[in-house]
A = this chain, B = another copy of it.
């Protein structure tokens, strides 16, 4: 039983004649006669009653017809599904984004445009910090991530620079710094700082610490926060000032003033899109393409 024979048989069944079917499928009549006979021999059953004016289906032929149509349908369905999958029009793609950057307009734009353009792709966005993203990329439970990396060269990963973040200062509106912004970090020696925990995002943390070491400045930390939102909440509550990525500006939290300091702006914090080099998902590559369009 081969697909060729099945489609011939369906044509014969639908036209009620081998000759008519042969014209329909653009194959000579003897070829069809033979293929039908081969099918019958293969199945061990007569499928047609041959008459002078055409053929009629036997009981077995009728039974086969329905199944045959279904088989052919299955085949075209598989074809179109694979084709859609190949173009990344269906399937699934998962993306990790640091919570901080979910609020950045360009990122939001990316998510929105992807959903608009590929509405049938199951698009899952996971709010994850850089460390967990990297882990899940490596273990293949995440297709792509928007995250901080210590280097563009990541074994087994491909990367693309999205934007260059810097650091900035976040102070409570109630603080005297709010009215009279500092110009140098040194002015903040006696100021209380809210600080991050290293474990949750070592790449970011180490980068900031390295920069501060170069500046020879050691903040007086009075409080630690688990993530950026927590830290900013504490700043808003007046617990102290904080050093945050410039992307945080998108948060628009009440009670906070963001300020740029030249010494902080020189700390480059590149934001990357990363994915496994061996990931052949077209849906993912569409996402990469769209990222180029949005950030390029």
Binding site for B on A (CB under 8 A): 1-4, 43-46, 49, 58-60, 63-64, 67, 70-71, 74-75, 78-79, 81-83, 85-86, 91, 278, 280-282
Q: How many copies does the complex hold?
A: 2
From residue A70, how far is it (CB to closest CB) to chain B in Å?
A: 7
Contacts of A46 in B (CB 8 A): 280
Q: List 13 A-B contacts (CB under 8 A).
A: A1-B79, A43-B82, A44-B82, A45-B82, A45-B83, A45-B86, A49-B278, A49-B280, A59-B85, A60-B86, A64-B82, A71-B71, A74-B74
**Interchain CB contact (< 8 A) of A86 among B4, B44, B79, B278:** B44
Q: Decide yes or no: A83 and B2 within 8 Å by CB, A49-B280, A59-B281 being known contacts.
A: no
On whether the beta carbons of B2 and A4 are closer than 8 Å, the reply is yes
Shortest CB-to-CB span from A27 to chain B, Å, is: 16
Q: A32 → chain B, closest Cβ, in Å?
A: 17
Chain B residues whose C-beta falls within 8 Å of the C-beta of A85 in the assembled complex: 45, 59-60, 63
Label chain A's interface by main secondary structure.
helix
In the complex, chain B residues whose CB is within 8 Å of the CB of A59? 85, 91, 280-282
Query: Closest Cβ of chain B: how far from A288's Cβ, in Å?
Result: 15
**Given contacts A1-B79, A43-B79, A79-B1, A74 and B70 within 8 Å (CB-CB):** yes
CB distance from A10 to the nearest CB of B (A): 13
Closest beta carbon of chain B to A276's beta carbon, Å: 12
Instruction: List residues of chain B with CB within 8 A of the CB of A64.
Output: 78, 82
**Complex Cα gap A86–B75 (Å):** 26
Sort A-B residue pairs by CB-CB distance and give the 4 closest, nearest first.
A45-B86, A67-B78, A58-B280, A59-B281
Closest Cβ of chain B to A253, distance in Å, is: 41
Residue on B with the closest CB to A84?
B63
Q: Write out the residue numbers on chain B whose beta carbons fall within 8 Å of the beta carbon of A45.
A: 82-83, 85-86
Q: Which residues of B contact A44 (CB under 8 A)?
A: 82-83, 86
CB contacts (< 8 Å) of A78 on chain B: these are: 1, 64, 67, 71
A56, chain B: closest CB distance, angstroms: 9
Do A74 and B75 touch (CB < 8 A)?
A: no
The chain B residue with its CB closest to the CB of A66 is B78
Q: Quick one: closest B residue to A63, CB to CB?
A: B85
7 additional contacts (CB under 8 A) given A45-B83, A59-B85: A1-B3, A1-B75, A1-B78, A45-B85, A63-B91, A64-B82, A74-B74
